[in-house]
Amino acid sequence: MATETAAATASQCVNSYGGAIGLPQLCPDWMGNQIFWLLVTLVVIFFVLSRIALPRIAAVLAERQGTITNDIAAAEDLKVKASEAEAAYEKALADARSNANDIIAETKAGIKADLDEAMAKADAEIAAKTAEGEKAIDEIRANALESVKDVAKDTAKEIVAAMGGTADAKTVNAAVTSQMKG
């Protein structure tokens, strides 16, 4: 009779050896017990999450959001500063180019003035040397003309003497002078 009561108390979910038949979680005899422990477990998980885990997660998320917001604000500030620095750089570059062009213009003007001065000095020296040269050429022409006259007079006297004639100096001078004039 003990085996019959044991069999009667055993449900359709357990075999005669005490092993489960089929899926024990789907056995209707054990459903109430499973639902109770499911509710206890969910309540414990809810309290653990709501009191410990969720506040920590919320704090981490808030910290991350604050960090992201601060980083974005800092990035905007750096962007503005970079824009200002670029504008200052462009202005300095333009000023440097302008100054360089001014220096180039001043240097060119100085070189041109020096060159003009040197050219004027060289032209003056050339003009002075040309005048001296022309004066020397005029002197040489005058001396050469006088020398030619002297040679012509001497030659004329010698020719007349060689031909057996006599010529006085006045006649020779008059003949040479008239021939020299053309």
- The whole-number average pLDDT for the span 114-118 is 93
pLDDT for the residue numbered 182: 64
- The whole-number average pLDDT for the span 126-135 is 91
Residue 114 has pLDDT above 80, yes or no: yes
pLDDT for the residue numbered 11: 65
Tokens representing 161 are 């003497």
Name the residue with tokens 């019959």: 4
* Tens-digit pLDDT profile for residues 48-62: 999 998 999 999 999
Tokens representing 90 are 């462009």
User: Who has greater pLDDT, 97 or 142?
Assistant: 97
pLDDT for the residue numbered 1: 47
- Percentage of the chain beyond pLDDT 90 is 53
- The whole-number average pLDDT for the span 25-30 is 82
pLDDT for the residue numbered 35: 93
* Tens-digit pLDDT profile for residues 62-73: 999 999 999 999
pLDDT for the residue numbered 10: 54
User: Who has greater pLDDT, 25 or 118?
Assistant: 118
| pLDDT band, very low/low/confident/very high, at 165 (cuts 50, 70, 90) | confident
Residue 170 has pLDDT above 60, yes or no: yes
User: Who has greater pLDDT, 65 or 19?
Assistant: 65
93, 85 contact by CB (below 8 A): no
Average pLDDT across the chain, whole number:
86
pLDDT for the residue numbered 109: 93
